[in-house]
Structure formats: C-alpha cells, structure tokens
Structure 1
Amino acid sequence: MQVEVNIDETYTRPKAVILTAALTDEVRQAVEFLSHADAPPITGYQGEIVRLLAPAELIRIYASAGKVLAATERGEYTLRLRLYEAEARLDPHLFVRISNSELIHLKKVQSFDLGLTGTIRVKLSDGTVTYVSRRYVSKLKKQLGL
C-alpha cells in the first residue's frame, strides 16, 4: 500500500483519504483501523482482574441488575461504562443494538430466527439465545438488508 502524508495547517484534526480501484480486505482493514484509532479501549473487570477487551472478542454487551456486562469467549466482564458509551466506542457496522439493554456483535451471530411474530430470536456463538425487541426489529432488518 502506498502511503502519502500532506501537512496542511488548515486541518485541526487528521483526515485520511483512501484512493483505490476496488474495496479489498486490505482497504477494509485500513478503514477499520483508522476509524477506531482514537477510540479509547473497553476495559473489563472480573473481581480484581482488569482486561482490555478487543472489539473482535466481544459477543454481546448488556445491562443486568444495574450493571453493564460484556460477554466474551473467556467469560463475562463488568464494564464501568453505560451501554450507550460502549456503543459509541464500537463499529456500528459490526455492533447493533437489539434492545434498550443489549448490543450484539453481528460476526458472533450463529442464526436469526424470523419465525416469531413481531420479534427475532438470535443465537450467538457462545450458545446464548436472546431476542430483538419489537422496537429494534425494523432497524436490524434494515441493517441486515432483509
């Protein structure tokens, strides 16, 4: 990949422009990296253990009993963020809100069951089954192109 940097004092924040003939995996990775370069990491807590959680390892983030939890393949972590703050730090093309209290990682979805009237049943990679609330069904269908 050819890289060019132009210094222009009129820009207060850096701006990246990618010129390409096709949208390749390399270009997608560059866009994803640049889009989240200034996003603070998501920190998860398990008792006294603190881990920086990569977006790729997150399965879902949900609110339960007044806490916000992040489910990963390694277990669940408590977040010291509100759900909307976690949502703002994540890629909106990969993470979607399915209810007032839950976000899911679309790449961690095993299946969507559209057979239920007015809602969608979601099975995630860790075996968790959750449901899209009626309020978010049309938004999810639009995002998935259904």
Structure 2
Amino acid sequence: MKLKLNIDSDCEKIEVQITAKEIDDEVNDIVRKLEKESLKTLVGFIEDEAVILEPIDIIRIYTSNNKILAETKDGEYKLRYRIYECEEKLNRNRFIRISQSELINLSMVKKFDFSITGTIRVVLKNGVSTFVSRRYVSTIRKVLGV
C-alpha cells in the first residue's frame, strides 16, 4: 500500500481518495476504518431496548405506517429521528435520498435498473426492491455518473 498526502491551501474539507485496481478485502477494510472514524451512529429501538446502529450496517432508512425504520441485516429498528435528521447525521457519500421517505446505503445496492421510464428501480443486496421517485432521478444519475 502506498500513501500519498496532498496539502492544498484552498481545500475547505478533508478529502480521502482510494485508488485501487479492484475492490478487495484490503480496500473494504480501509473504507470500514475510515467510516467508523467519520460517521456518527444512530440509536434504534426494538420495543424498549435501545441499540447502537453503525452506519455501515444500515441497508436503508424509510418510513412505514408513520414510523421511521432502519433496516439492517439483523432486522428493523424504530428510529426517533426524522428522515432529514438521519440524512444530516450520515455520510452523504455513502447514504443518498431516493424519495421523500427513504435513504439508501449505496454500498448495499446490488443494482440500479433504468429500464422503467421515468424512474429507477433499486435492488438492494438483501433482495429488497425499491424505487427512486421522479424528483430524485437526476440526483441518482449524477451520483452514478450516468
């Protein structure tokens, strides 16, 4: 591994860039370590138990029956935040809003399906399919560079 540091007096925020031939275990380990340092945790609830949710484990955050839920591989947790508060707390390079009622973790996306006119179907790694609302289609296209 080679480490390069660039000092730029015009830089307003620290930016970390990883250049690799492919995503492998070493790259994933580096990303996980950096995320743990830079991301804030959320507190989710199952009944009366509070559970610390690491952002890297969150698949998506969405509303259902007027409740905000965080879906992880271990289950769903009720959140006592609004969607916009979750969006503010989480890393904007990792979590992206796809509708008024849903944020997704980009690292948990299996594929984006552009075949439906006017919207994008998102298939997550856990098999769940969800849709990008028309309002957010251009944002997703920008993020993906398409």
Fold-level similarity (TM above 0.5) = yes
1:93/1:16 CA distance change after superposition, 3 Å: closer
Task: Report matched runs for 1:1-146 at 5 Å.
Answer: 23=18, 32-36=35-39, 39=40, 41-146=41-146
DSSP-derived class of the 1:92 partner: coil
Bigger Rg, structure 1 or 2:
1
1:136/1:16 CA distance change after superposition, 3 Å: closer
Q: CA deviation at 1:34?
A: 4.8
Structure 2: distance between partners of 1:79 and 1:17: 30
Q: TM-score, normalised by structure 1?
A: 0.77
DSSP-derived class of the 1:115 partner: coil
Please give the per-residue CA displacement for 1:82-131, whole angstroms capped at 9, x wherever unaligned. 01001111110110000000000011011111000000001111111100
1:79/1:113 CA distance change after superposition, 3 Å: same
Q: CA deviation at 1:32?
A: 4.0
Aligned length: 129
DSSP-derived class of the 1:43 partner: strand
Structure 2: distance between partners of 1:110 and 1:31: 22
Residue identity opposite 1:47 in structure 2: E
DSSP-derived class of the 1:93 partner: coil
Where structure 1 has 5 or more consecutive residues not aligned to the other structure, the ranges are 1-14
1:97/1:90 CA distance change after superposition, 3 Å: same
Q: TM-score, normalised by structure 2?
A: 0.77
Where structure 2 has 5 or more consecutive residues not aligned to the other structure, the ranges are 1-11, 20-26
